[in-house]
Structure 1
Amino acid sequence: MIYLDNSATTAPDEDVLRTFTEASRTYYGNPASLHQAGTRADQLLQNARKQVARLAGDDESEVVFTSGGTESNNLAILGYAKKYRYRGNHIITTEIEHDSVRKACRSLEEDGFEVDWLAVDEQGVISLDELKRKLRPDTILVSIMHVNNEIGSVQPLAQCAQIIRERSRAIFHSDCVQSAGKLALPFPRYTDAITLSGHKIHGLKGMGCLLAKPSRLPEAISYGGGQEDGLRSGTVNVAGAAAFAKAFRLATAEPSADHMRNWTAAMHDGLKNEPRLRILSSPDGAPHIFSMAFKGLTGEVAVNYFQENGIYVSTSSACSSKSSRTSHVIEAVGVPEEYRKGAVRISFGRSNSAADAERVIEVTKEFLEMTKKGMKQHDME
């Protein structure tokens, strides 16, 4: 099988698995304990923390280990809102954020915060002019994802940062779950905090982190023993932290992912003139994500056809692929009604090749031809 659902999750790297196994076996002590086993575990934990900070570009940054992207996004959105509410109650985000940001912002709206939702164009990119208009003296948080998980659109975070700094004191957070290992990260030069997830970069599920500047930390949103400097209580998953650091190091070894961009470019060229197919991803988008939609068909039918031909793909984001509702991202970018239910996402990972992209082109054309014949037969009947 050809696995092309890497934006949903990736196969863990063997080196990452070895790191986790060895750390679990050798550094099993609670890092909060005073005895030698606890001290050794804490040393490994701090080494992992330092490595992640260094790889992100700032040795002094705070690394708060979490269970993954969702928890990190919640800690950022809810934690910053809680900390800076004395300054104001205005938040800015986009219409195409992951649900872990969207729903956190919705909960804040119910709690009296005012949230402005930036629209996107057909390519899934926000308007900088709208960001300028929406920023206010009482804006306390701006959260804009780096790469969209469904269509791969890349936001202009450098320009956003300049606008935010010129016009407000707002915290600038970015969900970088899909950009880590594919693009240069915006932290710490442009953003105050970013979210990362281990299982998107050939690490393990259940491990991620929030990276933040030491002077711009959120408040805790959960309580307990005060681990992670009080920001994320609970016994720390030391082996998971070590494995995350290893996965992050391997992912950042090749941040440009030029080979993946060549594959998505080939797919753009190979499928751009196909009737009844609408390409949703921009050639200027993320290198590893190619999204398309079939006219008058459902994504589920396409996914099943691809699987029958030895290829695993996804309808949109894995978080919502089993839901019958139209993706909020597909709606936000203005996909015509006749294409909305037919979205399919192909996402490349470390184990893929140019041959995999060529096979997708071939199977896509076969699927279009097969369904064309089926539609003609249906019309005749």
Structure 2
Amino acid sequence: MEQIYVDHAATSPMHPKVIENVYETMKSQFGNPSSIHSFGRQARSILDNARSVMAKSIGALENEIIFTSGGTEADNYAIFGICESKTRKGKHIITTSIEHHAVLHACEQLEKKGFEVTYLSVDEYGQIDLQELKDSLRDDTILVTIMYGNNEVGTIQPIKEIGNLLKDHSAVFHTDAVQAYGIEEINVTKQHIDMLSVSSHKINGPKGIGFLYVKNGIKLTPQLFGGEQEKKRRAGTENVPSVEGFKTAVEIAQQERLAKRETYQKYKEMILSILKDNNITYRQNGLVENSLPHVLNLSFPGTNVEAMLVNLDLAGIAASSGSACTAGSIEPSHVLVSMFGDVERTKNSIRFSFGLNNTETQMEKVGHELVKIIHRLTH
């Protein structure tokens, strides 16, 4: 039985070219980038080239890119780094109720340390209200952290409008772009973004590597202490092979971005068309138009997450939900609860997310298997 992976929003397979480049780098480049001899200089050159590629991909400058161990560290560094450096100016943070836990748990930790956090609500489509953001801004607001595109339902926030709203305010604007990077067109200058988090393993790069963009002039208190790597901003010898793999993944993502958007949109339409043709009752969660093209979140009345995921897995289809499923109990996704409240829809929604190696034939199978499973569970 063919295994079909439609959980690319959780993690993605490494691209063959990425694997090749990581392997070659591991084989031939073992120097420490901080060493001044030829081995070190060669390693340093790999970092410099990668930094240049990543900076260009978001319209930033090379010295504004800090390599991290992934999206979680990038989010944590942005949030703790700013809050510790700006404590004297205020202790108020604004975020949303649907952020990734790397942001939410960081904010909760800061609340224990005396910071005040405003959690913006979202509408039934998962989007914030710009007026609520405007009304929440205060003189002592030091950070606004709002995700670019949601990892569970795909809804994209009005990032440019948020950037415009904040450009004359002293608060720093950070966005977690982990799910949007590589598929959306991002320009930190045009969108007035001060800090932005990215993770490699979402775009067919290696796990354990990412970057944080920090606009020049913004001071972050370091969170790791040791050497003077990353211009004294992030201690620790850089992961050179992974950085090379990440760079390759970024280059491929940039080249294929528009074609991928079209393909993934087609996949969405194929699955929905099969469901409609077979009179399956479903509701699409999140915005239909202003949404990440590779994320499709559907609610199926009369089913439940656990049974759906088990049946899909038995059919060779790997999908997911935003829920933390344990035997006998399901904790509804905080994103869906924020959108709909504590209703049945939060317990019967499945996320399908597309990426490398997916085909139209696979999408047809996903659609038809879904029809079978839903009939089995609801009749």
Q: Matches of 1:205 and 1:344 in 2, distance apart?
A: 24
Q: Matches of 2:81 and 2:342 in 1, distance apart?
A: 37
Q: Which structure 1 residue ranges, 5 or more long, are not aligned? A: 374-381
Is 1:233 aligned to 2:235, yes or no? yes
Deviations 1:345-365 (A, max 9, x none): 100002212333332221222
Q: Per-residue deviation at 1:335? A: 5.5
- Counterpart in 1 of 2:143? 141
Q: Residue type of the partner of 1:222?
A: L
Q: Per-residue deviation at 1:79? A: 0.6
Q: Where do 1:49-64 residues align within 5 Å?
A: 49-64=51-66
Q: Residue type of the partner of 1:234?
A: G
Is 1:333 aligned to 2:339, yes or no? yes
Return closer, same or farther for 1:206/1:321 CA change in 2, 3 Å cut-off. farther
Does the CA-based 8 Å contact 1:268-1:279 persist in structure 2?
Answer: no
Q: Per-residue deviation at 1:326? A: 1.5
- Counterpart in 2 of 1:35? 37
SS at match of 1:64: strand
Is 1:282 aligned to 2:287, yes or no? yes
Return closer, same or farther for 1:321/1:372 CA change in 2, 3 Å cut-off. closer
Does the CA-based 8 Å contact 2:82-2:143 persist in structure 1?
Answer: yes
- Counterpart in 2 of 1:378? none
My pick for the range that moved more, 288-297 or 77-86, is: 288-297
Is 1:73 aligned to 2:78, yes or no? no
My pick for the range that moved more, 235-244 or 337-346, is: 337-346
Q: Matches of 1:368 and 1:296 in 2, distance apart?
A: 9
- Counterpart in 2 of 1:185? 186
Identity within the alignment, %:
36
My pick for the range that moved more, 68-77 or 321-330, is: 321-330
SS at match of 1:254: helix
Does the CA-based 8 Å contact 1:293-1:299 persist in structure 2?
Answer: no
Deviations 1:95-140 (A, max 9, x none): 0000000000111111111111110011100001101101112111
Q: Residue type of the partner of 1:259?
A: T
Q: Residue type of the partner of 2:376?
A: M
- Counterpart in 1 of 2:271? 267
- Counterpart in 2 of 1:222? 224
Does the CA-based 8 Å contact 1:194-1:212 persist in structure 2?
Answer: yes
Does the CA-based 8 Å contact 1:188-1:213 persist in structure 2?
Answer: no
Q: Matches of 2:375 and 2:275 in 1, distance apart?
A: 13
Does the CA-based 8 Å contact 2:280-2:371 persist in structure 1?
Answer: no
Q: Residue type of the partner of 1:107?
A: Q
Q: Residue type of the partner of 1:357?
A: M
Q: Where do 1:195-210 residues align within 5 Å?
A: 195-210=197-212
- Counterpart in 2 of 1:174? 175
Q: Where do 1:73-152 residues align within 5 Å?
A: 73-152=75-154
Does the CA-based 8 Å contact 1:51-1:245 persist in structure 2?
Answer: yes
Does the CA-based 8 Å contact 2:10-2:202 persist in structure 1?
Answer: yes
Q: Residue type of the partner of 1:110?
A: K
Q: Per-residue deviation at 1:217? A: 4.2
Q: Per-residue deviation at 1:321? A: 5.1
Does the CA-based 8 Å contact 2:13-2:356 persist in structure 1?
Answer: no
Does the CA-based 8 Å contact 1:33-1:39 persist in structure 2?
Answer: yes
- Counterpart in 2 of 1:376? none
Q: TM-score, normalised by structure 1?
A: 0.92
Q: TM-score, normalised by structure 2?
A: 0.92
My pick for the range that moved more, 55-64 or 101-110, is: 55-64
Q: Residue type of the partner of 2:233?
A: L
Q: Residue type of the partner of 1:262?
A: K
Q: Residue type of the partner of 1:298?
A: N
Q: Matches of 1:332 and 1:51 in 2, distance apart?
A: 37
Q: Matches of 2:206 and 2:325 in 1, distance apart?
A: 21
Does the CA-based 8 Å contact 1:30-1:41 persist in structure 2?
Answer: yes
Q: Per-residue deviation at 1:159? A: 0.8
Q: Matches of 1:52 and 1:105 in 2, distance apart?
A: 27
Return closer, same or farther for 1:281/1:239 CA change in 2, 3 Å cut-off. same
SS at match of 1:177: coil
Q: Where do 1:246-325 residues align within 5 Å?
A: 246-256=248-258, 257-271=261-275, 277-284=282-289, 285-316=291-322, 320=324, 324-325=330-331
Q: Per-residue deviation at 1:260? A: 0.7
Q: Per-residue deviation at 1:275? A: 5.5
SS at match of 1:229: helix
Q: Matches of 2:77 and 2:302 in 1, distance apart?
A: 40
Q: Which structure 2 residue ranges, 5 or more long, are not aligned? A: none
Q: Per-residue deviation at 1:366? A: 1.2
Return closer, same or farther for 1:335/1:252 CA change in 2, 3 Å cut-off. farther
Return closer, same or farther for 1:118/1:186 CA change in 2, 3 Å cut-off. farther
Q: Residue type of the partner of 1:151?
A: V
SS at match of 2:362: helix
Q: Per-residue deviation at 1:282? A: 2.5
Does the CA-based 8 Å contact 1:153-1:281 persist in structure 2?
Answer: yes
Q: Matches of 1:296 and 1:305 in 2, distance apart?
A: 15
Q: Matches of 2:136 and 2:212 in 1, distance apart?
A: 26
Q: Matches of 1:183 and 1:90 in 2, distance apart?
A: 30
Does the CA-based 8 Å contact 1:180-1:252 persist in structure 2?
Answer: no
Q: Matches of 1:254 and 1:184 in 2, distance apart?
A: 12
Does the CA-based 8 Å contact 2:303-2:378 persist in structure 1?
Answer: no
Name the Cα RMSD after superposition: 1.8
Q: Per-residue deviation at 1:336? A: 5.7
SS at match of 1:189: coil
- Counterpart in 1 of 2:163? 161
Q: Matches of 1:92 and 1:265 in 2, distance apart?
A: 36
